[in-house]
Amino acid sequence: MPIDQILIIGLIALASIATPMLIKAFGKGRQQAADILGLQLDEKITAPPDPNRPDEVPLMTGHLHGLPATVFVSVTNRRVGVNVGRERNTIGQAKTHLALALPHPSPLTLTISPILNATLYREPAPTDPVVPTNDTTFDQAFLLSSNNPETALNLIDAPFRQQLIDLRRSLLPSAPNNAVGHATASLLMGRLTLEPDRLRYTLRGTPNAKIANHLQAASMLMAQLIKKL
């Protein structure tokens, strides 16, 4: 098995168990994350899921940058490229999401994904058209897609792109400028998704202090983007 797949399995391989059971196993990390973000932790995980988003389990609520904020987790099963007999292995992949509610409906959908070349944890292909920015540094690290390319390019302008690049570099400042460094930085970076009613930032893993600090930094960029809508 390639070394990158071994690394990722070590980072994200979680048993395929019920989401609430998985979440409760990380109680200390959840509390640390809530304290860092300044959000209210639902200690008993009693917040009802959105019927339109039944796979999301809310963990924290409150406000960030004057906007209603929710942290939730999801667990999805993914097939990995290791065959056992005639079937492929399936692992549970946990993700932590920070969602900021929009003050009014978004006129477009938009996704900014880190470019991941390892098949094991590559995200599904975007449903919206890919939008090249003609910013070489950005386009080598991120994939922008939107159902409204012109508006997307106006929103994701040069200053905002630079802030995303700076955030990516800050996650691993000592990363070598080669394929390994690029892959590692891309793995650590989150996925930004603009939906009709919210802006969401998604990271692999369950809530802990490190993830909360990352979400805190990302939330500032999210608030800036929402103001531009």
Q: How far apart are CA 16 and CA 188, in angstroms?
A: 22
Q: How far apart are CA 143 and CA 153, in angstroms?
A: 12
Find out whether 56 and 97 touch, Cβ atoms under 8 Å: yes
Pick from 222, 167, 225, 212: which is nearest to 38 by CA?
212
Q: How far apart are CA 201 and CA 188, in angstroms?
A: 12
Report the pLDDT value the prediction gives residue 7, as an integer from 0 to 100.
Answer: 40
Report the pLDDT value the prediction gives residue 178, as an integer from 0 to 100.
Answer: 82
The structural domain count of the chain equals 1
Maximum CA pair distance of the chain? 53
Report the pLDDT value the prediction gives residue 154, as an integer from 0 to 100.
Answer: 97
Report the pLDDT value the prediction gives residue 53, as an integer from 0 to 100.
Answer: 73
Find out whether 92 and 22 touch, Cβ atoms under 8 Å: yes
Who contacts 162 (Cβ-Cβ below 8 Å, separation ≥6)?
none
Q: What is the 3-state secondary structure (H, E, C) of the chain?
A: CCHHHHHHHHHHCECCCCHHHHHHCCHHHHHHHHHHHCCEECCCCCCCCCCCCCCCEEEEEEEECCEEEEEEEEEEEEEEEEEECCEEEEEEEEEEEEEEECCCCCCCCEEEEECCCCHHHCCCCCCCCECCCCCHHHHHHEEEEECCHHHHHHHCCHHHHHHHHHHHHHHCCCCCCCHHHHHHHHHHCCEEEECCCEEEEEEECCCCHHHHHHHHHHHHHHHHHHHHC
Model pTM? 0.81
Q: Print pLDDT tens along the chain (229 aa).
A: 444 444 434 433 433 334 455 555 556 789 999 999 999 998 665 555 667 776 788 999 999 999 999 999 998 766 555 555 555 566 678 899 999 999 999 999 999 999 975 444 556 677 899 999 999 999 999 999 999 999 999 999 999 999 999 999 999 888 788 888 888 888 899 999 999 999 999 999 999 999 999 999 999 999 999 999 9
Domain assignment of residue 65, given as a range: 3-228
Q: How far apart are CA 48 and CA 115, in angstroms?
A: 34
Report the pLDDT value the prediction gives residue 24, as an integer from 0 to 100.
Answer: 54
